Structure 1
Amino acid sequence: MTDKNKIMLVASPGGHFVELSLVAECLQDMHVMIVSTYDEKPSFMYGDEYFQVSDFSRDNAHVMFKVIRESYQILKKNKPKLIVTTGAAPGLIMAIVGRFFGIKSIWIDSIANSQYISLSGKIAKAFGIKVFSQWESVAKSSNSEYHGKLL
């Protein structure tokens, strides 16, 4: 497997991870690395390797610094060609840290965000990360891209 085929998929547990699993199904000819906060990769998720990062949110934002360090270590060692995330906070950090390594990233905003792009999606755009909405009207109003829905 060449380095060109290394893709890192990052998501928080729950709906974000379920949406990401649909992306993973389409990448079975690639070397897929999964990153999440689960203790181990859920059995329903396709992926060649699994890495765990700490979870955080606005309520415990200080943990963000630990996630930055974890993301840096994972990316430095594994060097994917692309990061794809469906959110939330750990996916945003991985995508931002990836920018410092020159790694392109795609942010797919959750289908739950049917009225507005998420705060994390707005932050991703500010860092030059390509943002996709699963709602055409949200994509237009947020100057994001729309190519359909995952669910």
Structure 2
Amino acid sequence: MKKKTTKICMISSSGGHLKELNELIEISEQYETFQITEKDKFSNIKIGTRQYYVNKIDRDEKNFLFHFFILFLKIFQIFAVEKPKVIVTTGALVAYPACLIGKLMRAKVIFIESYARTETLSLTGKLVYRLSDLFIVQWPDLSKKYSKAKYYGELF
């Protein structure tokens, strides 16, 4: 089957966020897709035809702001080459720069809140809420609390 030409960026932090994103792997079979994630033990999960890896950073680390700025630059470089039309993300930290840069480049943003978030949004969810074109939650009660949120079921 010939892939559709809309280019999609699948981006998430490693670990559970990446495992949730991997549940949408069919998208990469239908569309031109590339992946951005953190380089670690979950790097064997590959979505799309191209993978890009960024350094894992933590909000509590000493040089967080510097590393976060570097993350913005790295994602900007990737997007300058790839020019995605859609960004699909399950969060966390790595997702915010991608969503912000993507919106500036007129890409559509689809954010899927973590299955672990049953009562409130994650920090990334709160930051991306206004930027998103489609904001998906995996618990029906969350869709009642946040007017923009849509519930379509769970990824797992």
TM-score (norm. length: structure 2): 0.87
Partner of 1:102: 106
Q: Is the 8 A contact 1:20 1:85 kept in 2?
A: yes
Structure 1 equivalent of residue 82 of structure 2: 78
* Residue 41 of structure 1, CA deviation: 7.7
Whether 2:15 is the aligned partner of 1:9: answer no
Q: 1:59 and 2:60 equivalent?
A: yes
Identify which range, 16-25 or 120-129, moves more after superposition: 120-129
More helix, by proportion: 1
Contact 1:41–1:50 (8 Å) recurs in 2 = no
Q: 2:130 and 2:28 mapped to 1: Cα distance?
A: 28
Once the two structures are TM-superposed, the CA of residue 108 in structure 1 deviates from its matched residue by: 0.4
Q: 5+ unaligned residues in a row in structure 1: which ranges?
A: none
Q: Is 1:40–1:52's contact at 8 Å kept on the other side of the alignment?
A: no
Q: Identity, % of aligned pairs?
A: 28
Structure 1 residues 45 and 25 mapped into 2: Cα distance closer, same or farther (>3 Å)? farther
CA contact (8 A) 1:116 1:142 kept: no
In structure 2, the residue corresponding to 1:32 is in which secondary structure? strand
| Pairing of 1:2-151 with structure 2 (within 5 A) | 4-38=5-39, 42-60=43-61, 61-62=64-65, 63-143=67-147, 144-151=149-156
CA RMSD, 1 decimal:
2.1
Contact 1:25-1:46 at 8 Å conserved across structures = no
